[in-house]
């Protein structure tokens, strides 16, 4: 019976592959493939759950595929099934089927009909990988694909400015959650000395013993898990991304940000509850964050003028309460709450266009303004202040920009000297010296030995920040990203004897090939269109769709998407960083935060947005 779990991944994956191969004009066949895939998946989930319940609902854990194995580390896919998985799988299948049925008519004759259904099926694959995951590596695979699907669906209307801009903004927040999960895996390897499965985490005695011996490691893991959950579920201070994500089609908003994707933070807390159930500090942190988010999000939802923003903040408020329920151990209540909120938000978003048209009709013919009462009391002033704060969404978006991204943008803008010929020669010399030191470590001066990995990782971070803020040349930004990869790999290879050259080849194998393909694509588009600076959006996907698709695949390969060996290499890289190397882990983690954003920024600026040629229709800058 446990062997059947893999079918719930393979069925939507098969549907996605078939959908990609279908002609884009055959709407009927595309929708039928999507509906059939999700329908078969739903039927299989129902039958599996019924059989599971009749056999005393055991907790299932199955090791599926081993990607890499040595005496020190093993990277494998593991599937897991319990009551949490059962609820999320059933709700996910039902809602996805409803949305695909609705989208068949809602997106009729839309230019992106095939693109929407293909991306939705890929999202459904990733969602199932997450909820059926039995370890952090498997969960991270689905988590990463979900982020890319979010970006593609938010930027679905790629001829408009705001959808593309907000897609980049949301992927930057998602990347924070990705890095928090990577750091969780890193410290888990240090704590358990193995690829710990969720099934083993149910052994409360073993978990408690490890946490008592290594309390600070456990706290670090739990805080990283909390931030990963908070970013995915739009809890404070990350709440402002959810209404911005509503720029995509209403149906994608319903399935992603109303029902399924936004609740995966709750799933992560439920799945990892044995990690932090005995840590009072973490419980208090989750409860306080959930309560504050619920109060602030509810106040914002009451005064917003757009229906999607109201629904987004209402959902955030309910998810905040789910965080509190999970922390208090009320897991059955949290699962019921998830099901109710998911169905309600899906319904609200799908009917919102019709309801809005009725409300406008009613307002035009029967509008009567409320009588305004002047008040100068303390209560009145407090109420008005809260009203203005809520209208401004408590300035959460500005807070995120000024305190999270602005310092790094300022730093990147101060690195123009890296584009000079002298700086390039110096960087090349330093890199070659590092390669020489790696081949002949005995020649390294004793006083420099322990500082070189930090120096090389810091150089890699500087190169990424320069690529992140580059505006003149897309090719130059791409080369900076490639160079940063080489410096990061060198920083781990140096003085980490257990991270051999074979590991470095695994890490670089996928990224080197895809980065070369991406460079060729940029040179080609430069040759044809002449100007590919990063000061504006160019929209070249209209006239070069195949080139845009190939470049997107190259971008995903460069950042270590799960279809290249680089994905395994990233896990190997982090697992070989020692826990006392604080600066090294900080610099490398920051590099990976900004690398995905810098890569997708190049793709978005060159291939998305309004077209530079005026014979293409140009959408309004504001939606």
Predicted confidence (pLDDT) per residue in 517-539, tens digit: 999 999 999 888 888 888 888 88
Give the pLDDT of residue 540: 87
Residue 621 confidence class, pLDDT cut points 50, 70, 90: low
Q: Please check the confidence at residue 42 and state whether its pLDDT lies above 50.
A: yes
Residues above pLDDT 70, as percent of the chain: 92
Confidence of residue 616 (pLDDT cuts 50, 70, 90): low
Q: What is the model's pLDDT at position 277?
A: 83
Calculate the average pLDDT of the chain.
85
pTM for this predicted structure? 0.91
Given pLDDT bands bounded at 50, 70 and 90, which one contains residue 612? confident
| 191, 580 contact by CB (below 8 A) | no
Rounded to an integer, the average pLDDT of 425-430 is: 85
Mean pLDDT of all residues in 191-215: 76
Least confident window among 220-224, 364-368, 589-593: 364-368
Q: Quick check: 91 pLDDT over 90?
A: yes
pLDDT value at position 372? 66
Span 239-255, pLDDT tens digits: 888 888 888 788 888 88
Choose among 504, 509, 501: nearest CA to 489: 504
In this prediction, residues 136-153 reach a mean pLDDT of: 88
Question: Is 80 exceeded by the pLDDT of residue 269?
Answer: yes
Give the pLDDT score at 358: 67
Radius of gyration of the chain (CA): 25
Contact 141, 567 (CB under 8 A): yes
Position 362 scores a pLDDT of: 59
What pLDDT, on the 0 to 100 scale, is given for residue 15?
92
Two structure tokens written together for 129: 């990988």
What are the helix (H) ranges across 107-203? 113-131, 136-154, 161-192, 198-201
pLDDT of residue 425: 87
Mean pLDDT computed over 257-268:
88
Q: What is the model's pLDDT at position 330?
A: 92
Instruction: Work out the average pLDDT over 425-447.
Output: 79
pLDDT over 90, % of the chain: 25
pLDDT band, very low/low/confident/very high, at 623 (cuts 50, 70, 90) = very low
Using alpha carbons only, what angle is made at residue 343 by residues 339 and 347, rounded to the nearest 5 degrees?
Answer: 170
Residues 505-527 have a mean pLDDT of: 88
Q: How far is CA 257 from CA 261, 267, 310, 315, 316, in A?
A: 6, 15, 12, 9, 10
- Is pLDDT larger for residue 326 or for residue 501? 326
Q: How far apart are CA 137 and CA 476, in angstroms?
A: 33
Q: How crowded is the C-beta side of 196, counted as CA atoms within 13 Å?
A: 24
Give the residue extent of every domain in the chain: 2-356, 414-607
- 356-370 confidence digits (pLDDT tens): 766 665 555 566 666
Looking at residue 562, its pLDDT comes to 80
Q: Roughly what angle, to the nearest 10 degrees, separates helices 27-54 and 113-131? A: 20
> Contact at 8 Å (CB) between 424 and 481?
no
- DSSP code, position 289: H
Angle at CA 20, nearest 5°, toward 15 and 23?
115
The answer to whether residue 617 scores a pLDDT higher than 70 is: no
Contact 193, 576 (CB under 8 A): no
At 188 the pLDDT is 84
Q: What is the pLDDT of residues 373-394, one digit of tens each?
A: 666 677 877 888 888 888 888 8
pLDDT-derived band at 171 (thresholds 50, 70, 90) equals confident
The better pLDDT of the pair 580, 232 is held by 232
Helices (H), 416-497: 421-439, 452-469, 474-493
């Amino acid at each position: 019976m446990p062997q059947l779990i893999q079918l719930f991944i393979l069925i939507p994956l098969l549907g996605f592959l078939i959908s990609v191969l279908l002609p884009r004009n055959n709407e009927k066949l595309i929708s039928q493939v999507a509906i059939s895939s999700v329908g078969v998946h739903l039927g299989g989930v129902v039958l599996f759950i019924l059989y599971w319940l009749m056999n005393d609902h055991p907790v299932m854990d199955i090791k599926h595929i081993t990607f890499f194995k040595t005496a020190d580390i093993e990277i494998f896919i593991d599937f897991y099934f319990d009551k949490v998985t059962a609820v999320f799988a059933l709700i996910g299948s039902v809602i996805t089927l409803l949305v695909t049925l609705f989208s068949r008519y809602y997106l009729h004759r839309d230019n992106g009909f095939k693109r929407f259904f293909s991306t939705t099926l890929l999202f459904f694959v990733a969602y199932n990988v997450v909820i059926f995951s039995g370890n952090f590596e498997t969960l991270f695979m689905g988590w990463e694909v979900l982020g890319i699907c979010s970006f593609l669906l938010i930027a679905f209307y790629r001829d408009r400015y705001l959808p593309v801009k907000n897609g980049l903004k949301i992927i930057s927040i998602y990347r924070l959650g990705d890095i928090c999960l990577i750091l969780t895996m890193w410290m888990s390897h240090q704590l358990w000395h193995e690829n710990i499965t969720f099934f083993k985490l149910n052994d409360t005695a073993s978990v408690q013993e490890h946490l008592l011996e290594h309390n600070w490691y456990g706290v670090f893991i739990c805080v990283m898990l909390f931030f990963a959950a908070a970013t995915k579920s739009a809890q404070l201070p990350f709440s402002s991304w959810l209404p911005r994500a509503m720029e995509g089609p209403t149906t994608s908003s319903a399935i992603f940000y109303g029902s399924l994707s936004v609740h995966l933070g709750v799933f992560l807390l439920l799945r990892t509850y044995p990690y932090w159930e005995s840590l009072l500090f973490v419980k208090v942190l989750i409860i306080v964050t959930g309560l504050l988010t619920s109060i602030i999000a509810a106040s914002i939802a009451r005064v917003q003028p757009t229906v999607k923003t109201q629904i987004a903040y209402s959902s955030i408020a309910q998810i905040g309460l789910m965080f509190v329920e999970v922390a208090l151990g009320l897991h059955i209540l949290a699962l019921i709450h998830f099901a109710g909120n998911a169905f309600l938000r899906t319904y609200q978003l799908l009917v919102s266009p019709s309801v809005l048209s009725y409300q406008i009709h009613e307002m035009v013919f029967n509008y009567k303004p409320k009588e305004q009462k002047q008040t100068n009391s303390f209560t009145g002033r407090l109420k008005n202040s809260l009203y203005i704060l809520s209208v401004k969404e408590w300035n959460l978006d500005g807070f995120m920009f000024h305190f999270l991204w602005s310092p790094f943008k300022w730093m990147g803008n101060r690195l123009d000297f890296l584009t000079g010929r002298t700086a390039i020669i110096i960087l090349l010399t330093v890199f070659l010296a590092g390669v020489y030191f790696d081949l002949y470590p005995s020649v390294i001066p004793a006083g420099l030995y322990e500082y070189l990995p930090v120096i090389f990782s810091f150089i890699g971070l500087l190169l990424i920040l320069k690529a992140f803020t580059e505006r003149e040349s897309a090719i130059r930004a791409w080369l900076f990203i490639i160079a940063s990869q080489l410096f990061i790999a060198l920083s781990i290879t140096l003085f980490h004897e257990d991270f051999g050259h074979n590991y470095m080849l695994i890490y670089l194998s996928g990224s080197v090939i895809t980065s070369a393909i991406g460079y060729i694509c940029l040179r080609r588009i430069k040759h044809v269109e002449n100007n590919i600076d990063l000061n504006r959006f160019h929209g070249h996907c209209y006239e070069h769709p195949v080139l845009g698709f190939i470049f997107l695949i190259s971008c995903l390969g460069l950042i270590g998407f799960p279809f290249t060996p680089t994905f395994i290499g990233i896990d190997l890289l982090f697992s070989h960083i020692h826990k006392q190397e604080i600066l090294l882990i900080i610099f490398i983690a920051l590099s990976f935060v900004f690398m995905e954003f810098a890569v997708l920024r190049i793709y978005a600026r060159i291939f998305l947005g309004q077209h530079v040629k005026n014979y293409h229709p140009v959408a309004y800058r504001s939606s």
